[in-house]
Amino acid sequence: MKRLIIASALLTSFSSMAQQEEVKAPIFYWDNQEHMVQVDEAKCHITKVATNRFRVSEYFGKGTNSSENLRNSQGRRTSFLPNSSLVKKVDSKHKLDEYESIEVVGINRLDNADPTDRWASKRLDRGFLYHKSLKPIDDYALRLDKNAPEVNLGDIRDNIDGTFMRVAVEDSYFQLNCPQFEEGRDYILFRVFDEKVQNKPIAYVGVYWDESAIFRSFQMFTKSEAHRFVHNIILEDRLESELEGRISFGAPIEDTDTQATNDNAIEADDNTIDSEADSDPVIVETPDNRTSEEKSFDYRVCISDNTLNIRNESLNAVAFKAKKGEKVKIFQGWGTNSQNRTINGVNYTFIKIEFPERESSQKVGWAAQRYIKTKEDCRYLRGSSNSGGSTGTIGGNITSLDDPACCEFPTVQKVTHRFDSGMRRFGAGRSGGNRLHAACDLYRYKDEPILAIAPGKVIRNMYYFYQGTYALEVRHSGGYVVRYGEITGKSPSGVSAGKSVSTGQQIGYMGKVNSNCCRPMLHFELYSGKQSGALSTGGNRYKRRSDLMDPTKYLLRWEDRNF
12 occurs within a structural domain: no
Range of the domain at 517: 422-562
Specify if 124 maps to a domain. yes
Spatial CA neighbour of 243 closest among 189, 319, 301: 189
State yes or no: pLDDT of 540 exceeds 60.
Answer: yes
Residues 50 and 190 grouped into a single domain: yes
DSSP notation for 437-464: --SEEEE--TT-EEE-SSSEEEEEEEEE
Least confident of 81-85, 207-211, 291-295, 365-369: 291-295
- In one letter, which amino acid is 125? D
| pLDDT for the residue numbered 115 | 58
User: By C-alpha distance, which of 171, 305, 168 is closest to 243?
Assistant: 168
Domain boundary, last residue among 225, 253, 281: 253
* pLDDT at residue number 207: 96
pLDDT band at 547 (very low <50, low <70, confident <90, very high): very high
The domain total for the chain is 3
| Position 295 in a domain | yes
Residue 469 maps to which CATH number?
2.70.70.10
pLDDT for the residue numbered 295: 40
Distance CA 254, CA 44 (A): 19
Q: What is the pLDDT of residues 260-294, one digit of tens each?
A: 333 334 443 333 223 333 334 443 333 333 333 44
Percent of the chain whose pLDDT exceeds 90: 40
Let me know: does 462 contact 489? Beta carbons within 8 Å.
yes
Return the number of other C-beta atoms located less than 10 Å from residue 554's C-beta: 20
- Asked whether residue 92 carries a pLDDT value surpassing 80, the answer given is yes
One domain, residues 349 and 446: no
Q: How far is C-alpha 116 from the chain's CA centre?
A: 35
Do 428 and 362 lie in a common domain? no
Q: Which residues contact 475 (CB under 8 A, 6 or more apart)?
A: 456, 457, 459, 481, 529
Distance CA 488, CA 507 (A): 11
Residue 5 lies in a domain: no
500 and 525 in a common domain? yes
pLDDT of residue 114: 60
DSSP 288: S
* Structure confidence at residue 116 (pLDDT): 61
Instruction: Report the sign of the C-alpha dihedral through residues 523, 404, 549, 461, in that order.
Output: positive
DSSP assignment of 129-153 equals EEGGGEEEGGGEEEEE-TTS----B
Distance, in Å, from the CA atom of 406 to the CA atom of 289, rounded to the nearest integer, reads 38
Final residue belonging to a domain, choices 233, 253, 273? 253
- When comparing pLDDT for 120 and 433, which is higher? 120
Contact 83, 120 (CB under 8 A): no
Q: Which of 47, 48, 50, 49 is nearest to 416 (CA)?
A: 50
Q: How far apart are CA 243 and CA 415, in angstroms?
A: 29
* Confidence (pLDDT) at 18: 46
Q: In this structure, are residues 203 and 189 in contact, taking their beta carbons and an 8 Å threshold?
A: no
Cβ atoms 340, 281 nearer than 8 A: yes
Please give the helix or strand (H or E) that residue 340 lies within, else none. Answer: strand 338-343
**CA–CA separation, 53 and 272 (whole Å):** 12
Question: 219-248: per-residue pLDDT in tens?
Answer: 999 888 888 888 777 776 578 888 888 888
Please state, as a whole number, how many other Cβ atoms lie within 10 Å of the Cβ of residue 466. 15
Identify the CA nearest to 213 among candidates 24, 347, 86: 86
Q: What is the dihedral of CA 381, 384, 385, 387, to 10 degrees?
A: -20
Q: Distance between CA 207 and CA 214 in Å, rounded?
A: 8
The H or E element spanning position 226 is helix 223-226
- Is the domain of 233 the same as that of 266? no
